[in-house]
Amino acid sequence: MILLTRKAEFSAAHYYWNDSWTAEENERIFGRCANRNGHGHNYTLEVTVAGDVDPVTGFVVDLKLLKDILEREVVGVYDHRHLNLEIAEFAKLIPTTENIAVAIWRRLDGKIPGARLHRVRVYEMADLFADFYGEF
Amino acid sequence: MILLTRKAEFSAAHYYWNDSWTAEENERIFGRCANRNGHGHNYTLEVTVAGDVDPVTGFVVDLKLLKDILEREVVGVYDHRHLNLEIAEFAKLIPTTENIAVAIWRRLDGKIPGARLHRVRVYEMADLFADFYGEF
Amino acid sequence: MILLTRKAEFSAAHYYWNDSWTAEENERIFGRCANRNGHGHNYTLEVTVAGDVDPVTGFVVDLKLLKDILEREVVGVYDHRHLNLEIAEFAKLIPTTENIAVAIWRRLDGKIPGARLHRVRVYEMADLFADFYGEF
Amino acid sequence: MILLTRKAEFSAAHYYWNDSWTAEENERIFGRCANRNGHGHNYTLEVTVAGDVDPVTGFVVDLKLLKDILEREVVGVYDHRHLNLEIAEFAKLIPTTENIAVAIWRRLDGKIPGARLHRVRVYEMADLFADFYGEF
Amino acid sequence: MILLTRKAEFSAAHYYWNDSWTAEENERIFGRCANRNGHGHNYTLEVTVAGDVDPVTGFVVDLKLLKDILEREVVGVYDHRHLNLEIAEFAKLIPTTENIAVAIWRRLDGKIPGARLHRVRVYEMADLFADFYGEF
Amino acid sequence: MILLTRKAEFSAAHYYWNDSWTAEENERIFGRCANRNGHGHNYTLEVTVAGDVDPVTGFVVDLKLLKDILEREVVGVYDHRHLNLEIAEFAKLIPTTENIAVAIWRRLDGKIPGARLHRVRVYEMADLFADFYGEF
């Protein structure tokens, strides 16, 4: 059993806002992240899959295929987008690093032939990241 | 003569748009960057100052002071902002990496006591950066 | 269940020395680290906490709060200090990377409201790090 | 119980080729990696060992000893070599990142006095790595 | 006047060998690099161009175009190749980091519309790089 | 003409203190760096040499030789030392990043056969570095 990890990047805008709070509450809890004009990040995504090594190819999963799936399901969807305004799952859900990790898990789970999704790691900055292992 | 460089980071949203063009022209030239909802980046700023080493302190410039100037003039202004919508110099100027480097030069030049501003480097992503040396 | 990791840095001096050994034994076992004048490192600390995502905020833990706790309990205590000479837990304990990881765990465990401390990772250099999960 | 990780690097050439396939099949499955002249990488190896901290030294394992073992068993063997043509285990086995991780596990397991091998991580590029925990 | 730098990567095999020397001389001068089976690296290329900012686009050069030129002239040619055996300029020239930097300069010079090639930097490893500014 | 750069690292302790000042003045100017117990850093050194490519070897300078010179003249001298207490040039000179860069220049200048020393860069932290080009 091998774990194979591939990184990818996307650049997106977001803000933190809870519609059930007043503006003052949003600013008190979320600070500068509550700016409704949005700010943004270069997000780094690490997707880890688990599986056995195919003795014929030496692969757990074909890397070209894995890259294409990440591009189709996540990077091509999120990159150069405003997460709150343009991505369906964040219409009601605040796009924190934690929630982005869970959302990417939902987008990828069951889509990778021959391997099991093991972990989704999302870096918002180099000094902050969230890991999700599918434990809802 | 020593060059001293300090890095800082800010996270901001932006888009590329030329008001004198049609939407189609903007999309053709700027591609995904023309999305008016904005996207964003973790920008890394490297500011280099030149000067002689003070024999009493061993410093070209006091680093705490330099950090405070960067915070006051640039990071505290740009961080968690939408550059096009909230920063005066980008009301008319497209916030490309090149133009951001020049804008930061204008914000810092003449503000650093005892040293000369030598170079402003701005990374938009790890694989892309612009350098400006004050040659308008 | 999400794991959230925050990095922080501190610069400190240390040396390796076992008082029950002769100078020759200390030098034979610890090599250049046995220099009693001390040497130092830029330590990188990664603190991982585990918890459920609060549906109201989208957070496992408030990052500003987590940063403040790391500053108060660890970075503000260790940074710009000589670990052997100034930090209580290293008066008798050799400040190896392993022991620093355990000491930081003891400083942080039980201090983070609403989340469980999951892992403390300490890098002494980019090519060397220790992980502690609280298994004494 | 502490996990201690040490990084090392080696530069090697390799190609992907399955002798039971035609050249066309190899090119279809392995793409540019099927070039029999070989290409190469700067591989980064992370070896993690698990153990208790020795109260006398503060070490899980003596780092100088661990470095020497990595050099003798892996880096000195693989570095500046063509993996397919010069390394015994890859005469029949395709040197994918997955298979290299397993091969390094076999080379190191049981060779580290006083600690248990916990994980072998191999990076082929900064955006791709494989982890093996000894689960054959 | 702005300098704009773009990074790219390619993975290739090479060896060092001077045909006018004996095998012993090659091994004495080039050490492990003289292994004729080849070894390899993940090369990182930084290409810097100089120019004025176009007031209409905010660009020195269109980044998509620059990326395409790097792909067509360098990365698509060198990547997953054995430099000595497959790249014309290294049939007679030893592919040292220095010579690779000069070769990439020759491939790119005059190919970038609207900007002047300023510097080619090539990293063979993270701790070794060569810069060429076109001064033959 | 090529510039060739090699990186190296050393770990050392230091403090900032001007003997002609009172303790209060030292603390006011140097802050936490004035702690006489010392603190420390992982310093990264980048040494750049300039020269023509030898057509016989493809080298500006033999990298093994350059590495040995850096080890003999700098790394083997500074590493695991307390700069103020054990290194002659810092008995009277405050070991700031600026002064360390100049001191390393003096140690290396004229010692590299066949190439000219072009630049010494010293990183104290990842976000702070000093460059010296030999302009006293």
Closest CA to A46 of A97, A114, A113: A97
Q: Using one digit for the tens of pLDDT, what is the confidence trace for D78-94?
A: 999 999 999 999 999 99
**CA pair distance D110, C75, nearest whole angstrom:** 38
SS3 A3: strand
Report the 3 state secondary structure along chain F.
CEEEEEEEEEEEEECCCCCCCCHHHHHHHHHHHHCCCCEEEEEEEEEEEEECCCCCCCCCCCHHHHHHHHHHHHHHHHCCEEHHHHCHHHCCCCCCHHHHHHHHHHHHCCCCCCCEEEEEEEEEECCEEEEECCCC
**CA pair distance F15, B26, nearest whole angstrom:** 55
Neighbours of E39 (CB within 10 A): 27
- Is B128 part of the contact surface with chain E (CB cutoff 8 Å)? yes
Query: Going residue by residue through chain A (136 aa), what tens digit of pLDDT does each one get?
Result: 999 999 999 999 999 999 999 999 999 999 999 999 999 999 999 999 999 999 999 999 999 999 999 999 999 999 999 999 999 999 999 999 999 999 999 999 999 999 999 999 999 999 999 999 999 9
Phi–psi pair at D16, nearest 5 degrees: -110, 130
Alpha helices (H) in E61-133, listed in sequence order? 63-70, 76-78, 83-86, 97-108
- Tally of CA atoms within 13 A in the half-sphere of E20 that contains its CB: 6
A134: left (phi over 0), alpha (psi -120 to 50) or beta: left
Q: How far is CA B63 from CA B47, C41, C132, F31, in A?
A: 12, 19, 35, 11
The neighbours of chain C, by the rule of 3 or more Cβ pairs under 8 Å, are A, D, F
Mean pLDDT by 10 residues, chain F (136 residues): 98 98 97 98 98 97 96 98 98 97 98 97 98 96
Contact check, Cβ <8 Å, A82/B13: yes
Q: Tokens for D57, please give them.
A: 């030294």
The distance of F8 to chain B (nearest Cα, Å) reads: 19
**CA pair distance F104, F111, nearest whole angstrom:** 12
For chains A and C, CB pairs below 8 A equal 53
Of the candidates A2, A7, A57, the beta carbon closest to that of D130 is on A2
**CA pair distance B123, B135, nearest whole angstrom:** 19
Of the candidates F16, F18, F131, the beta carbon closest to that of B2 is on F131
- Model confidence at C39, pLDDT cuts 50, 70, 90, reads very high
Mean pLDDT by 10 residues, chain E (136 residues): 98 98 97 98 98 97 96 98 98 97 98 97 98 96
pLDDT, residue A58, reads 98
**CA pair distance D25, B51, nearest whole angstrom:** 63
Mean pLDDT within D13-24: 97
Q: What ipTM is given for this predicted complex?
A: 0.96
E14: left (phi over 0), alpha (psi -120 to 50) or beta: beta
pLDDT, residue A130, reads 98
DSSP E74: I
Q: Are C39 and F40 in contact (CB under 8 A)?
A: yes
- Model confidence at C17, pLDDT cuts 50, 70, 90, reads very high
pLDDT, residue D28, reads 97
pLDDT, residue F119, reads 98
Residues 6+ apart with CB under 8 A from C96: C16, D53, D57, D58, D59
E59: left (phi over 0), alpha (psi -120 to 50) or beta: beta
Q: Kindly state which CATH superfamily the domain A2-132 is placed in.
A: 6-pyruvoyl tetrahydropterin synthase/QueD (3.30.479.10)
**CA pair distance D87, D79, nearest whole angstrom:** 11
Sequence letter at residue A98 = E
Q: Tokens for B49, please give them.
A: 């100052």
Neighbours of A99 (CB within 10 A): 23
Active site residue E118: no
Between CA F6 and CA F9, with CA F8 as vertex, the angle to 5 degrees is 160
Contact check, Cβ <8 Å, F127/B8: yes
- Model confidence at C62, pLDDT cuts 50, 70, 90, reads very high
- Is D120 part of the contact surface with chain A (CB cutoff 8 Å)? no
Phi–psi pair at E25, nearest 5 degrees: -65, -45
Of the candidates F40, F79, F126, the beta carbon closest to that of C13 is on F40
Q: Using one digit for the tens of pLDDT, what is the confidence trace for B31-74?
A: 999 999 999 999 999 999 999 999 999 999 999 999 999 999 99
Q: Using one digit for the tens of pLDDT, what is the confidence trace for B18-29?
A: 999 999 999 999
pLDDT, residue C44, reads 98
DSSP A70: H
Separation of CA E10 from chain center: 9
pLDDT, residue D128, reads 97
- Name the one residue in this structure whose structure tokens are 């400083």: C107
Residues 6+ apart with CB under 8 A from B131: B101, B119, B120, B121, E2, E3, E4, E5, E48
pLDDT, residue A44, reads 98
Whole-model pTM over 0.95: yes
- Is F14 part of the contact surface with chain C (CB cutoff 8 Å)? yes
For chains A and D, CB pairs below 8 A equal 53
**CA pair distance F42, F96, nearest whole angstrom:** 14
Average pLDDT, chain E: 97
pLDDT, residue C126, reads 97
Average pLDDT, chain D: 97
